[in-house]
């Protein structure tokens, strides 16, 4: 909202002593921060930010009133002579509760002198150009000065009675902006007997507008229900100065006064003669009184506030006190639609005292704090671990492009359930079912920008449609995704260069997953899933990626220190077995068979079997590779003899042989 | 000793010995020289022993003395030189086994937590000593949780499809526009136990969505951290004390907070909270637009209607809530010029901004 300092000072002369900068601070302390100050047009104009609940300050008079309450100053008297109303010159029928009050007047315009230049300048500062049509300019000026929107019709274009009613479904009106609008039965209109002539509280109609040729005007100064005005403005996407003010709640008690001021201006500016003034309906009853609550006030304020001081502040805001037996009742002024409960009054008292005066204290702990949730801790620890393993955490949007989503999901129909109705664009319309696509794109972006090595991870929910579940039709499943691409090493004399895309790169990523305690079953899904796992496509592979549901990763342990596990103090024996195996020999079946066999004989002395080297070379027999298997034995209660270890190794070799392996000479 | 006692070639050898010895630069050479002078066979000393054997009895004594002197001198000089060379070799060997520490070392790969997650975790740590735990809710919410339970009127513009994302197949579902629905969920869940728990206090971090076009200061997805406390006799002073503590913990002991009246439907009274500009300390800079203060968050006392929605008696219980934009604070503190950098995930940005835990 724009506020001209000169006009503000006219409403509150006490402000003349306050510098614009101090005024900005003052306004901010009242809850109306000044977003910008414009001094470019020979005047100081503030752009003031007003919260949605304060329709009463959307004018110079309104803002001055709040400042007057704060500073305990007097507003200037409005130069208004109350008109003597007479009989209705034409019937005004209020057919809807959304318009309880309609003040009007008919004037004959005289020889036009035009809008005074200072008013033209003022309107210019308000961002509105003067039309030099006194009825229009005067209405506009009163809106900015007093906050009451008014309207002038060309009285000679009206046909019969004036009716404020709900529009008929499909009824048409051409508004002042020249647009034909089709109305619904929820739009409130001003109509004459030929049809709608204005969208109530939003915009006048084109057919009845005031022009340079207009000789008689009918003025409108009414009160319209805020919700109705907001809905109509929203429905027709027609946001005007009038709808802004009516939509946030105008002051019904201001309607007649604004009409009187408008009449006075037309008499002065256009030599107009009043034909008659009258009002249909009445000022709506004030909201129910609010019980005054001293205990609540002091609880909210955090300190004792003398009752007299509090009541004096409310009075300065225009509240009236209605002492009822046992409880003081506060009646809010007609312009304050936002005050309805005792908490609202407490806020007003604190606001006028200044929030800076609120003391500062920590609330006492009333119960035992709860532990941090396992899910949160798990994610936090995972992120920290991965960062220490050299991975960077990414954050990407939850919605993706459905066309590019290669989620490997055969049920494309399922996507429909995860689709947004009003996305920012088609490319952001699907709630993603995997993180891999975004991770792949991010990896590619980094490689394109010259990164040698990319190590990324994201922890975020993916969305799974389950339309059969009425309570949670879209499940959110927290997921970890990892990508490793490019080439690593080669930047110091001790670390050789290694391409992550080489076959072994997948093994490195699996190593990371094992370090995160991702169970083997979940990792095997990765092994069966080579295409989705490749960054950069199968042919031009640049690296590997993987995703796993966080549910599959165990929670952080509850224990402060893990339970003691006995370890053997007797020597451990390691023996290597160098085997020639077929090139297509799978490691797992061989290792599993050997382990099973050795475990039956060595029992608790068997510790582990692992492959520590793979050798493939043309010097080896055709179709064969060499594996170096290391077996480790350690007995919990005694030292092992070399004879028994020899026996176990022999049995391990037997199993290997039965599977086609032979001892490498 | 009479030189004439010894043959001329031995005398030559004796004369050339010091030079030959000095010329031995390694143990191999020394061993060869040793062989020439004092070796068991064919050496100068072997020849001297033969001479001695063949000498007449009367000369034997004199000659033996001279030979011994000569042999001893050679042996001692060779021995001394040998230990010299051995020491040099040991030193060389030691040197060869030492890695020059100035060569570039292999450095473990450095990753980073995302700066937004770092900031969220930091906030959790800041509020943890005050007894706050973490509550979370889904990103896909109902209108009831996102709006109704928060005293947001049915015709509020934020509910419109111009501001909020809705779903094609489920008209009642939306992408939450703030983390405040976690207030509603948590109040509803804990309301039956509020007495035994002695109130409620928690932090709710998470991702939220609003229909904003992507530009340097807007993003359709961003992060918020919501905080809520419900207890007995809670007032604005408790909100102020809590936020003052938190801002000092976050920005340092000089941090100060300032409250300004504001309006949010789910609090009453409501306020905006500014913090003394952490970059200039309040003297004025570009970040605070010379005002010395930066806007940090919105807050207020929980509106009685919000408590009532969850079935909590606002005559007994009262509380406060606050909500902050994580990106906003991250941009302010780091002076990151463009919001989009947080979602682009360039490793160079992540590594400088995120760092390790
Ligand atoms: Zn600053």
Tokens read off for B298: 């919105």
Assess contact for A63 and A48: CB atoms under 8 A.
yes
**Mean pLDDT lowest among A338-352, B29-43, B304-318:** B29-43
Q: What is the pLDDT of residue A540?
A: 56
- Please list the residues that pair with B318 across neighbouring strands: B231
pLDDT value, residue A396: 97
Cα separations in angstroms, B82 against A3, B20, B27, B30, B90 = 102, 13, 7, 7, 12
Is A565 inside any structural domain?
no
Question: Comparing C-alpha atoms, which of A164, A122, A109 is closest to residue A2?
Answer: A122
A636 belongs to a structural domain: yes
- B176 and B259 in a single domain? The answer is yes
Residues B152 and B17 both lie in one domain: no
Q: Are residues B223 and B337 in the same domain?
A: yes
Residue A239: predicted pLDDT: 95
- The number of angstroms, rounded, from the C-alpha of A657 to the middle of its chain's C-alpha atoms is 66
Q: Are B266 and B183 in contact (CB under 8 A)?
A: yes
Q: Are A420 and B160 inside 8 Å of each other by CB?
A: no
Q: Are residues B154 and B278 in the same domain?
A: yes
**Mean pLDDT score across all residues of chain B:** 91
Same domain (yes/no): A527, A398: yes
Residues B132 and B71 in one domain: no
Are B228 and B136 in a shared domain?
A: yes
pLDDT for A408 equals: 52
Is the pLDDT score of A530 beyond 50? no
- pLDDT value at A104 more than 50: yes
| Six-digit token string for A21 | 């900068």
Residues A438, A407 share a domain: yes
- A positions 230-289 inside 8 Å of B (CB): 230-231, 234
Q: Are residues A105 and A246 in the same domain?
A: yes
Residue A10, in any domain of the structure:
yes
Contacts of A77 (CB under 8 A, 6+ apart): none
Residues B234, A299: C-beta atoms closer than 8 Å? yes
Find out whether A220 and A277 touch, Cβ atoms under 8 Å. Answer: no
Cross-chain residue pair B261–A231, CB shorter than 8 Å:
no
Pick B105's closest partner by Cβ from A358, A364, A492: A492
Same-domain check for residues A273 and A300? no
* Average pLDDT taken over every residue of chain A: 91
What is the rounded distance in angstroms from the CA atom of residue A154 to the CA atom of residue A159?
11
Asked, for residue B220, whether it belongs to a domain, the answer is yes
Cis peptide before B269 (omega within 30 of 0): yes
- Cβ contact, residue pair B261, A473, below 8 Å: no
Does B268 contact A362 at a Cβ distance shorter than 8 Å? no
Q: Name the phi and psi angles at A498, rounded to 5.
A: -145, 130
In this predicted model, which residue has the larger pLDDT, B52 or A430? A430
A473 contacts B237? CB cut-off 8 A: no
Distance between CA atoms of residues B328 and B173, nearest Å: 27
Phi and psi torsions of A76, nearest 5°: -70, 155
A325 pLDDT more than 80: no
Check whether residue B25 and residue B135 sit in a common domain: no
**Using the 8-state DSSP alphabet, how is residue A275 labeled?**
E
Per-residue pLDDT at B61: 84
A37 in the same domain as A175: no
Instruction: Please determine, for residue A526, whether its predicted confidence score (pLDDT) is greater than 70.
Output: no
Model confidence over A198-246: pLDDT tens digits? Answer: 999 999 999 999 999 999 999 999 999 999 999 999 999 999 999 999 9
Q: What is the pLDDT of residue A533?
A: 54
Question: What pLDDT score does B4 carry?
Answer: 60
Above pLDDT 90, what percent of chain A? 73
Using the 3D structure, point to which of A250, A281, A312 is the last residue of a domain: A281
Q: In this model, does residue A619 exceed pLDDT 70? A: yes
For residues B52-72, average pLDDT? 85
What is the C-alpha radius of gyration for chain A, rounded to an integer number of angstroms? Answer: 41
**What span, in angstroms and rounded, lies between the C-alpha atoms of A261 and A274?**
12
Residue A616, H or E segment: none
Q: Does A558 reside within a domain?
A: no
Q: How close does chain A come to B311, measured CA to CA in Å?
A: 18
Mean pLDDT lowest among A152-161, A406-415, A489-498, B62-71? A406-415
Helix (H) or strand (E) holding A626: strand A624-633
When mean pLDDT is compared across A174-188, A366-380, A391-405, A567-581, the lowest value belongs to A391-405
Domain that holds residue B70: 3-95
CA distance A136 to B124: 57
CB–CB of A420/A399 below 8 Å? yes
pLDDT at site A494: 85
How many domains does chain A divide into?
5
> Where a domain ends, among B61, B95, B129?
B95
B309-357 pLDDT tens trace: 999 999 999 999 999 999 999 998 888 889 999 999 999 999 998 766 5
Query: What's the CATH code of the domain at A197?
Result: 3.50.40.10
Show residues of chain A in contact with B199, CB under 8 Å: 366-367
- pLDDT range class, residue A536, cuts 50, 70, 90: low
- Distance between CA atoms of residues B132 and A149, nearest Å: 49
Same domain, yes or no: A348 and A380: no
Q: What pLDDT is stored for residue B96 in this prediction? A: 65
**Which of A9-13, A174-178, A287-291, A487-491 shows the lowest per-residue confidence on average (mean pLDDT)?**
A487-491
Contacts of residue A273, defined as CB under 8 A and 6 or more positions apart, other chains included, come to A107, A108, A110, A267
Q: Would you say the C-alpha torsion B37, B43, B46, B47 has a positive or negative sign?
A: negative
Would you state the pLDDT for residue A529? 44
Which residues from A are below 8 Å from B266, CB to CB?
Answer: none
Report the pLDDT value the prediction gives residue A409, as an integer from 0 to 100.
Answer: 52
Q: Give yes or no for a contact between A204 and A151, defined as CB atoms under 8 angstroms apart.
A: yes
Q: Each residue of A138-173: b (16+ CB within 10 Å) or e?
A: bbbbbbbbbbbbbbbbbbebbeeebbbbbbeeebeb
The residue among A664, A598, A654, A603 whose CA lies nearest residue A631 is A598
Are residues A326 and A388 located together in one domain of the fold?
no
Nearest to B356 among A53, A231, A388 (CB): A388
B39 Ramachandran zone, left/alpha/beta (phi>0; psi -120 to 50): beta
Question: With contact defined as beta carbons under 8 Å apart, do A181 and A208 qualify?
Answer: no
User: Is the model's pLDDT at A332 over the cut of 60?
Assistant: yes
Report how far residue A139's alpha carbon sits from residue B293's, in angstroms, rounded to the nearest whole number: 40
Overall domain count for chain B: 2
B270 beta partners: B262, B300
Check whether A538 has a pLDDT greater than 50.
Answer: no
Give the residue from chain A lying closest to B153, CA to CA: A227
The tokens of A528 are what? 């069966």
Between A and B, how many CB-CB pairs are < 8 A? 254
The verdict on A492 touching B (C-beta cutoff 8 Å) is yes
| Residue B295 phi, psi dihedral angles, 5° rounding | -70, 130
φ/ψ (deg, to 5) at A10: -65, -35
Q: What is the domain-level CATH number for residue B155? A: 3.30.930.10
> B1: pLDDT confidence band, cut at 50, 70 and 90?
very low
Is it the case that residue A531 has pLDDT exceeding 50?
no
Q: How far, in Å, from the CA of B295 to the mean position of ligand 1?
A: 11
Q: Do both A295 and A378 map to the same domain?
A: no
Q: Which of the listed residues A71, A106, A132 is the one where a domain comes to its end?
A: A71
Q: Are residues B159 and B26 in the same domain?
A: no
Is B108 a domain residue?
no
Q: Is residue B106 part of a domain?
A: no
pLDDT, one tens digit per residue, over B111-131 is 999 999 999 999 999 999 999
* Sequence-distant contacts of B284-289: CB under 8 A, at least 24 apart: B287/B332, B287/B335
Among the partner-chain residues B133, B231, B342, the one whose CB lies closest to the CB of A369 is: B133
Same domain, yes or no: B128 and B47: no
Min CA distance, B242 vs chain A (Å)? Answer: 6
Tell me the C-alpha distance between A458 and A481, whole Å: 5
> What pLDDT, on the 0 to 100 scale, is given for residue A607?
96
Q: How far apart are CA A316 and CA A75, in angstroms?
A: 11
If asked whether residues B62 and B177 sit together in one domain, one would say no
Do A408 and A508 share a domain, yes or no? Answer: yes
Model confidence band, residue A261 (pLDDT cutoffs 50, 70, 90): very high
CA distance A401 to A418: 12
User: Which of A355-364, A384-393, A536-545, B253-262 is predicted least confidently?
Assistant: A536-545
pLDDT tens by residue, A52-73 = 999 999 999 999 999 999 999 9
Looking at the structure, do residues A646 and A526 belong to the same domain, yes or no? no
Cis peptide before B180 (omega within 30 of 0): no
Quote the radius of gyration of chain B (alpha carbons, Å): 45
Q: How far is ligand 1, taken at its centre, from the CA of residue B332, in Å?
A: 10
Q: Which of B62, B95, B128 is the last residue of a domain?
A: B95
Alpha-carbon distance values, A504 to A589, A591, B107 (Å): 20, 19, 21
Give residue B357's pLDDT.
59
* One domain, residues B188 and B328: yes
ipTM score for this prediction: 0.89
pLDDT at B154 over 50: yes
Domain that holds residue A641: 573-663
- The residues pairing with A482 across neighbouring beta strands, listed in sequence order, are A457, A546
What pTM was computed for the model? Answer: 0.85
pLDDT in tens, A35-48: 999 998 889 999 99
> pLDDT value at position B42?
83
Residue A201 resides in a domain = yes
For residue A663, pLDDT over 50 is answered with: yes
Question: Both A417 and A537 in a single domain?
Answer: yes
Residue A569 CB-density burial (10 A; 0-12 exposed, 13-18 middle, 19+ buried)? exposed
Alpha carbon distance B180, B184 (integer Å): 7
Of residues B42 and A224, the one with the higher pLDDT is A224
Q: Is residue B102 part of a domain?
A: no
pLDDT at residue A328, rounded to an integer: 92
Q: Do B15 and B133 lie in a common domain?
A: no
**Distances from the Cα of A36 to the Cαs of A3, A145, A303, B62, B289, in angstroms?**
11, 20, 35, 120, 11
**CATH number of the domain where residue A32 is located:** 3.30.56.10
Instruction: Give the residue from A161, A168, A107, A110 showing the smallest Cα distance to A139.
Output: A107
pLDDT of residue A102 exceeding 50, the answer is yes
CA B29 to CA B326: how far, in whole Å?
76
- Distance CA(A268)–CA(A80), nearest Å, equals 13
Contact at CB, A346 and B165, closer than 8 angstroms: no
Claim to verify: residue A185 and residue A300 sit in the same structural domain? no
The first and second tokens of residue B194, run together, are: 């509020």
Determine the distance in angstroms separating the CA of B133 from the nearest CA of chain A, rounded to an integer.
5
Give the up-direction half-sphere exposure of residue B231: CA atoms within 13 A in the CB hemisphere.
25
The answer as to whether A410 is a domain residue is yes
pLDDT per residue as tens digits for the range B205-244: 999 999 999 999 899 999 999 999 999 999 999 999 999 9
The residue count of chain B comes to 357
- DSSP symbols for A23-87: HHHHHHHHT--EEEEE-TTSS-EEEE---TT-GGGSSHHHHHHHHHHHHT-PPPPP---PPPP-S
For A451, counting Cβ atoms within 10 Å of its Cβ (0-12 exposed, 13-18 middle, 19+ buried), the class is middle
With contacts defined as CB-CB under 8 Å, which chain B residues touch A453?
109
CATH number at residue A589: 3.30.70.380
* Model pLDDT for residues A589-614, shown as the tens digit of each residue: 999 999 999 999 999 999 999 999 98
pLDDT tens for each residue of A75-95? 999 988 899 999 999 999 999
- Compute how many other C-beta atoms are within 10 angstroms of the C-beta atom of residue A475: 14
- Strands of the sheet containing A195-199, edge to edge, are A92-94, A162-166, A188-192, A195-199, A203-204
């Amino acid at each position: 909202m724009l506020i001209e300092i000169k006009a503000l000072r006219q409403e509150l002369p006490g402000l003349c002593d306050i510098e614009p900068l101090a005024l900005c601070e003052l306004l901010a302390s009242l809850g109306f921060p000044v977003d910008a100050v414009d001094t470019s047009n020979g005047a100081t104009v503030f752009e003031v930010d007003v919260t949605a609940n304060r329709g009463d300050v959307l004018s110079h008079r309104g803002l001055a009133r709040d400042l007057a309450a704060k500073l305990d100053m007097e507003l200037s008297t409005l130069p208004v002579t109350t008109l003597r109303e007479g009989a209705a010159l034409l019937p005004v029928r209020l057919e809807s509760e959304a318009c309880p009050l309609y003040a009007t007047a008919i004037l004959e315009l005289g020889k036009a002198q035009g809008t005074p230049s200072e008013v033209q300048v003022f309107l210019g500062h308000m961002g509105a150009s003067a039309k030099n049509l006194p009825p229009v300019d005067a209405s506009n000026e009163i809106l900015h000065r007093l906050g009451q929107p008014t309207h002038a019709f060309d009285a000679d274009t009206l046909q019969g009675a004036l009716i404020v009613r709900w529009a008929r479904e499909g009824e048409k009106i051409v508004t002042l902006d020249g647009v034909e609008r089709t109305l619904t039965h929820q739009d409130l209109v001003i109509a004459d007997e030929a049809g709608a002539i204005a969208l109530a509280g939003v915009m006048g109609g084109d057919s009845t507008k005031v022009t340079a040729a207009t000789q008689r005007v009918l003025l409108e100064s009414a009160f319209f229900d805020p919700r109705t005005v907001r809905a109509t403005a929203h429905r027709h996407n027609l946001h005007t100065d009038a709808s802004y003010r009516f939509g946030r709640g105008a002051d019904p008690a201001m309607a007649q006064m604004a009409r009187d001021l408008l009449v006075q201006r037309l008499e002065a500016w256009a030599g107009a003669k009043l034909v008659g003034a009258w009002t249909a309906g009445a000022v709506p009853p004030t909201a129910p009184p609010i019980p005054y609550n001293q205990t609540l006030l002091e609880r909210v304020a955090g300190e004792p506030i003398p009752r007299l001081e509090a009541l004096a502040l409310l009075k300065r805001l225009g509240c009236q006190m209605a002492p009822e037996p046992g409880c003081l009742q506060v009646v809010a002024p007609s312009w304050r639609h936002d005050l309805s409960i005792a908490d609202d009054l407490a806020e007003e008292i604190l606001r006028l005292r200044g929030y800076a005066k609120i003391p500062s204290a920590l609330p006492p702990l009333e119960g035992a704090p709860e532990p941090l949730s396992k899910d949160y801790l798990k994610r936090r620890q995972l992120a920290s671990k991965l960062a220490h393993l050299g991975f960077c955490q990414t954050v990407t949007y939850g919605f993706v492009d459905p066309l590019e989503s290669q989620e490997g999901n055969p049920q494309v129909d399922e996507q429909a359930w995860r689709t947004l109705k009003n996305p920012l664009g088609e490319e952001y319309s699907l709630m993603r079912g995997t993180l891999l696509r975004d991770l792949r794109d991010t990896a590619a972006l980094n490689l394109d920008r010259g990164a040698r090595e990319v190590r990324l991870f994201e922890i975020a929910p993916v969305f799974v449609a389950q339309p059969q579940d009425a309570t949670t039709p879209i499940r959110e499943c927290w997921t970890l995704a990892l990508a490793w691409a490019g080439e690593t090493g080669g930047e110091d004399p001790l670390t050789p260069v290694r391409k992550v895309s080489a076959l072994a790169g997948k093994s490195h990523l699996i190593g990371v997953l094992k370090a995160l305690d991702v169970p083997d079953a979940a990792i095997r899904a990765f092994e069966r899933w080579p295409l989705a796992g490749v960054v950069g496509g199968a042919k031009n592979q640049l690296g590997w990626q993987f995703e796993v549901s966080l549910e599959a990763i165990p929670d952080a342990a509850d224990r402060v220190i893990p339970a003691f596990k006995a370890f053997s103090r007797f020597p451990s024996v390691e023996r290597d077995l160098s085997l020639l195996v077929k090139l297509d020999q799978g490691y797992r079946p061989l290792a599993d068979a050997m382990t099973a066999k050795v475990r039956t004989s060595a029992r608790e002395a068997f510790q582990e079997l692992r492959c520590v080297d793979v050798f493939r070379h043309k010097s080896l027999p055709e179709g064969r590779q060499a594996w170096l298997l290391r077996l480790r034995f350690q007995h919990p209660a005694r030292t092992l003899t070399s004879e028994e270890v020899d026996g176990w190794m022999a049995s391990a070799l037997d199993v290997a042989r039965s599977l086609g392996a032979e001892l490498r000479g | 000793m009479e030189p004439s006692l010894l043959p001329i070639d031995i005398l030559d050898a004796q004369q050339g010995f010091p030079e030959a010895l000095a010329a031995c630069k390694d143990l191999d050479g020394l061993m060869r020289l040793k062989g020439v002078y004092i070796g068991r066979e064919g050496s100068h000393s072997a020849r001297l022993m033969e001479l001695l054997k063949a000498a007449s009895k009367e000369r034997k004594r004199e000659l033996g003395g001279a030979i011994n002197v000569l042999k001893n001198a050679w042996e001692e000089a060779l021995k001394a030189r040998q230990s010299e060379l051995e020491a040099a070799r040991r030193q060389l060997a030691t040197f060869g086994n030492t890695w020059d520490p100035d060569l570039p070392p292999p450095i473990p790969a450095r990753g980073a937590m995302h700066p937004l997650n770092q900031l969220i975790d930091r906030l959790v740590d800041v509020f943890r000593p005050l007894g706050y735990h973490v509550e979370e809710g889904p990103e896909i919410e109902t209108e009831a949780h996102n709006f109704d339970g928060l005293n947001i009127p049915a015709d509020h513009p934020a509910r419109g499809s111009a501001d909020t994302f809705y779903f094609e197949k489920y008209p009642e579902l939306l992408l939450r526009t703030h983390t405040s629905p976690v207030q509603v969920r948590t109040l509803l869940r804990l309301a039956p136990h509020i007495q035994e728990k002695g109130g409620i206090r928690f932090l709710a971090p998470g991702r939220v969505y609003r229909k904003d076009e992507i530009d340097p200061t807007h993003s359709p997805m961003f992060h918020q951290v919501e905080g809520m406390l419900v207890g007995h006799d809670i007032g604005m002073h408790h909100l102020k004390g809590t936020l003052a503590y938190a801002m000092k913990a976050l920005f340092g002991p000089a941090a100060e907070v300032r409250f300004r009246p504001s309006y949010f439907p789910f609090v009453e009274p409501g306020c905006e909270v500014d913090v003394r500009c952490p970059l200039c300390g309040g003297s004025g800079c570009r970040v605070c637009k010379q005002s010395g203060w930066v806007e940090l968050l919105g807050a207020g006392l929980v509106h009685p209607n919000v408590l009532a929605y969850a079935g909590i008696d606002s005559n007994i219980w009262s509380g406060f809530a606050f909500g902050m934009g994580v990106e906003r604070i991250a941009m302010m503190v780091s002076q990151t010029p463009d919001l989009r950098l947080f979602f682009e995930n360039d490793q160079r940005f992540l590594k400088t901004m995120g760092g390790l835990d």
